[in-house]
A and B are shown apart, each in its own frame.
Chain A
Amino acid sequence: MLDLLTFFGDIAGLPYCVVKMSPSFPQYKAGEDIDLFCYSVNDVAAKVVSWAKRYAAKGYGIKVSNVHKRQHVHVDLLLEGALNFRFDLYEAMPAYEKLMVKPALFESVLENAASAFFPMGEVQVEVKVPAPVDDLLIRYLEFAEWYDVRPDKIKHLDFIMERGDAQTRERMLQKLHHYTKLPPLFIPHECPFCRFTARLKKYLPG
């Protein structure tokens, strides 16, 4: 089991924010991941690799994948060839298709990050997490993007309904409406002439 809190101790001075944190953090199950927003993926990934080296002697492999133009990077810790844990690092908002999201939301989340503290022996380790409004907003974006293909994403909607109070949810919706927009709807062009020519094609040879 990786001691994730030691990693967060190592990056204490860096600007970052853990989004969609699992309720069981810092515990995790094999195959899970942690999503981090940061201003420099390269800096945070370098810290992950440096931190992970201590586990190399215990049989862990480290794999770095440049998913998208050095703005989205995976740093995977593998055990016996299988994914044990993934650091999912972002330097910009993930690419959503169901909603158009203003890029400035990324900086807003980072700048408004709050501190959560987790005990590690005698000390408390600080882990930066989104402000309550941003936490709900990001989970909502995730739910909206994936709900039709990933049934497990309902957990984010459950989180919003159970954890957020009415005022925070209201502020979340206001921020959502400011930073997002529905993508334009594509309606196929169908004028009478096009309909006529489409029908005509049925009777033409070839």
Chain B
Amino acid sequence: MIGRRFDYMLVWGHGVEHMEAIAAMIREHPAFKIVKVLHHVPESVDLLVHAVYSFDYAPIEHLKDKTEYLRATPRESYLVFLENRDPDEDYFGEGSFRHLESRTMKALKERIRDRFNPYRNGKRTDEHVIHASDNQLQTDHILRYLGYPGVELFADRNVVLSAPYHLGEITDYCIRELHISALRCRMVTGERHHPEATVVAVEDTPHYRALCGDGEAYRLYLRTFLGTALTDDHTLEGLLRLAASFDYLAPPFDNAYVIVREEEPGIFAVLDGAHRVAILKHRGVTSLAAAVICNKE
């Protein structure tokens, strides 16, 4: 039995309209943590189906009938990558189709299908709105198909520092006390498929505005860019919940420093921790201990 693994769920075109509700069901499950969300528009649905099912336990010819319905679905999808903290693996199927699968993932997958699959004559069809991985190898395969270095993408590369995977390896950093007024947050503006990066003061972020009561601006920000420029999983409810109970660097988060890099003398870009900085600013905190990356490009 393994302690944790990385899985993924693929929301097919006809399930995209339910993406928010599907993500909410995943978040409610204690075993799963969403680590990355990607909006993917394949060259063709056939190509994506082939990529997804080429690593299946069943031969793709067997799955032709099962996947025929996908040809009529819209040519877009979401890929939700999950840390599965309770895989509870077991064998399912018979004969040559017998395979190892996560019971936790299987149960969640079925609940989502029960809720969102099309129904006919009162019966749930097999026109599944989602596909889920059976094992971590399939997650690795689909990440490579999308151009990422497999599940190694999510490997923890850093010493002490609790840094998100997308910052990669941080070889040198210093812990320093910084004024919040010296921090700048990287935001996204523009359109969903033509985002532009910008750098703003903490008080100008949608995160801070949400804490001041303008939650809709933050919701709109997430909805606009989720899966494109924003691939982390955030919600307004999550931000407000964090703000209610947040205690910066209190155990067990004593090494979860806000991570910054000095962009120009005395001005620091926040690479990780914009939400936490917004909360501290909203509380009237004027300075915080942050991890300043010394020499990572």
Chain A residues with CB under 8 Å of chain B are: 41-42, 45-46, 49-50, 52-53, 56-57, 61-66, 70, 73, 78
Task: Please indicate the chain B residues that have their CB under 8 angstroms from the CB of A46 in the complex.
Answer: 160, 254-255
11 A-B interface contacts by CB (under 8 A): A49-B160, A49-B255, A52-B175, A56-B176, A56-B289, A61-B175, A63-B172, A66-B158, A66-B171, A70-B157, A78-B174
Q: Are A42 and B160 in contact (CB under 8 A)?
A: yes
Say how far A58's CB is from chain B's closest CB, in angstroms.
Answer: 11
The verdict on B177 contacting chain A, using a C-beta distance below 8 Å, is yes
Q: Are B174 and A53 in contact (CB under 8 A)?
A: no
Measured in the bound complex, the distance between the Cα atoms of B161 and A73 in whole Å is 13
The verdict on B294 contacting chain A, using a C-beta distance below 8 Å, is yes
Pick the contact of A64: B161, B169, B254 (CB < 8 A): B161
Q: Are B289 and A45 in contact (CB under 8 A)?
A: no
Say how far A26's CB is from chain B's closest CB, in angstroms.
Answer: 23
Q: What residue of chain B has the Cβ atom nearest to residue A48's Cβ?
A: B160
The verdict on B165 contacting chain A, using a C-beta distance below 8 Å, is no
Measured in the bound complex, the distance between the Cα atoms of B38 and A152 in whole Å is 57
Task: Please indicate the chain B residues that have their CB under 8 angstroms from the CB of A41 in the complex.
Answer: 159
Measured in the bound complex, the distance between the Cα atoms of B161 and A41 in whole Å is 12
The verdict on B173 contacting chain A, using a C-beta distance below 8 Å, is yes
Task: Please indicate the chain B residues that have their CB under 8 angstroms from the CB of A53 in the complex.
Answer: 175, 289
Listed from nearest, the 5 A-B pairs whose CB atoms lie closest are A62-B175, A63-B174, A45-B160, A46-B160, A65-B172
Task: Please indicate the chain A residues that have their CB under 8 angstroms from the CB of B160 in the complex.
Answer: 42, 45-46, 49, 64
Q: Are A64 and B173 in contact (CB under 8 A)?
A: yes
Q: What residue of chain A has the Cβ atom nearest to residue B176's Cβ?
A: A61
Measured in the bound complex, the distance between the Cα atoms of B254 and A53 in whole Å is 10
Pick the contact of B254: A50, A62, A65, A78 (CB < 8 A): A50
Measured in the bound complex, the distance between the Cα atoms of B158 and A73 in whole Å is 11
Q: What residue of chain A has the Cβ atom nearest to residue B170's Cβ?
A: A66
On chain B, which size bracket covers the interface?
Answer: 10 to 19
Q: Are A66 and B289 in contact (CB under 8 A)?
A: no
Say whether, besides A46-B255, A53-B289, A64 and B159 are in contact (CB < 8 Å).
Answer: yes
Q: What residue of chain A has the Cβ atom nearest to residue B175's Cβ?
A: A62
Q: Are A56 and B171 in contact (CB under 8 A)?
A: no
Interface centre among B171, B172, B289 (most CB of A within 10 A): B172
Task: Please indicate the chain A residues that have their CB under 8 angstroms from the CB of B255 in the complex.
Answer: 46, 49-50
Pick the contact of A63: B157, B169, B289, B294 (CB < 8 A): B294
Task: Please indicate the chain B residues that have their CB under 8 angstroms from the CB of A57 in the complex.
Answer: 177
Say how far B38's CB is from chain A's closest CB, in angstroms.
Answer: 28
Say how far B178's CB is from chain A's closest CB, in angstroms.
Answer: 11
Say how far B293's CB is from chain A's closest CB, in angstroms.
Answer: 11
Interface centre among B157, B161, B294 (most CB of A within 10 A): B161
Measured in the bound complex, the distance between the Cα atoms of B169 and A70 in whole Å is 10
Task: Please indicate the chain B residues that have their CB under 8 angstroms from the CB of A73 in the complex.
Answer: 159
Pick the contact of B172: A50, A64, A70 (CB < 8 A): A64
Say how far B39's CB is from chain A's closest CB, in angstroms.
Answer: 34
Chain B 163-191 interface mask (CB, 8 Å, partner A; 1/0): 00000011111111100000000000000
Q: Are B159 and A70 in contact (CB under 8 A)?
A: yes
Measured in the bound complex, the distance between the Cα atoms of B169 and A73 in whole Å is 13
Say how far B180's CB is from chain A's closest CB, in angstroms.
Answer: 16
Task: Please indicate the chain B residues that have their CB under 8 angstroms from the CB of A61 in the complex.
Answer: 174-176
Task: Please indicate the chain A residues that have their CB under 8 angstroms from the CB of B169 in the complex.
Answer: 66
Task: Please indicate the chain B residues that have their CB under 8 angstroms from the CB of A56 in the complex.
Answer: 175-177, 289
Q: What residue of chain B has the Cβ atom nearest to residue A67's Cβ?
A: B171
Supplied contacts A49-B255, A64-B175, A66-B159, 5 more A-B pairs, CB within 8 Å = A49-B175, A56-B177, A61-B174, A64-B161, A64-B174
Measured in the bound complex, the distance between the Cα atoms of B160 and A52 in whole Å is 13
Measured in the bound complex, the distance between the Cα atoms of B160 and A65 in whole Å is 10
Residues of chain B from 231 to 258 with CB closer than 8 A to chain A in the complex: 254-255
Task: Please indicate the chain A residues that have their CB under 8 angstroms from the CB of B171 in the complex.
Answer: 65-66
Q: What residue of chain B has the Cβ atom nearest to residue A73's Cβ?
A: B159
Say how far A3's CB is from chain B's closest CB, in angstroms.
Answer: 18
Task: Please indicate the chain B residues that have their CB under 8 angstroms from the CB of A78 in the complex.
Answer: 174
Q: What residue of chain B has the Cβ atom nearest to residue A43's Cβ?
A: B160
